[in-house]
Amino acid sequence: MQASQTISRRIPRRVELHPTLIPALRDRFPLSPRPHYRRFGHDRSNLPQYTAKTTGSSQFRKLYSTYPQQQKMESSSIADLKRIGRDELAAQLLKRQEVAAQTADGVAEPEKIAIVDVRDSDFIGGHLLGCLHRPSSTFSSRLDGLIEELKDHDKVIFHCALSQQRGPSAALKYIREKKSLEARKRVASSEEDELLYKNVGKKVNQEVYVLDGGFVEWQEKYGNDERLTEGWRKEIWDSY
């Protein structure tokens, strides 16, 4: 009798697993998500339907229906950025100049392409004709103004010296901030839209690229072409 009482009073001990065994056990015994996870948004596919059933506010449903798009936006990375080669960009810029010269009467408009140079103190020895200089050191603080300035452009191309770090990073910041503003505009009231977001998202299908090789590779071929490059100084690049 005493032995049975001792057995009944025993408290089950928690089994500690070695960390290397946990992934294997998870694969073999997958756990289904808890119901409240699906209710409150961890399962994003069910979130808009849940809010539609539990609230009568269309504004609330519209707000949370943008959640999947925001998650997709935040998951983008530098590896996902589109790149454009120097020859392709040069051909597009020359074609734009030809179209602009042939359509001076305003019958057709050339494609609007913006070049954003984010070099800092190395912004020397030339630059692409008509580019916007936005140093990477102050890029984030001037991002809202840049989005408004480029709202009518079809393509935006970012670059630095080699387009390995500063250029791609600036392009990614631009894309994320622009999509974030567009998402906020969709759920804003008419008064907020007019005051805060009237210039955001005008070009919904705006394409953003990174110039492959940066200005270093660009100037090797088009540095002395005054149709495409201005301020080029050969002596600087000879010793580069």
Pairing type for strands 229-230 and 127-128 reads antiparallel
Q: What is the set of active-site residues?
A: 160
Strand-pairing partners, residue 113, are 155
For 68, 80, 175, 204, 226, the CA distances from 75, given in Å and listed in that order, are 11, 10, 12, 19, 40
The 3-state DSSP class for residue 229 equals strand
d(C-alpha 232, C-alpha 210), whole Å: 21
11, amino acid identity: I
Strand-pairing partners, residue 229, are 128
Contacts of 147 (CB under 8 A, 6+ apart): 174, 177, 178, 181, 200
d(C-alpha 144, C-alpha 199), whole Å: 11
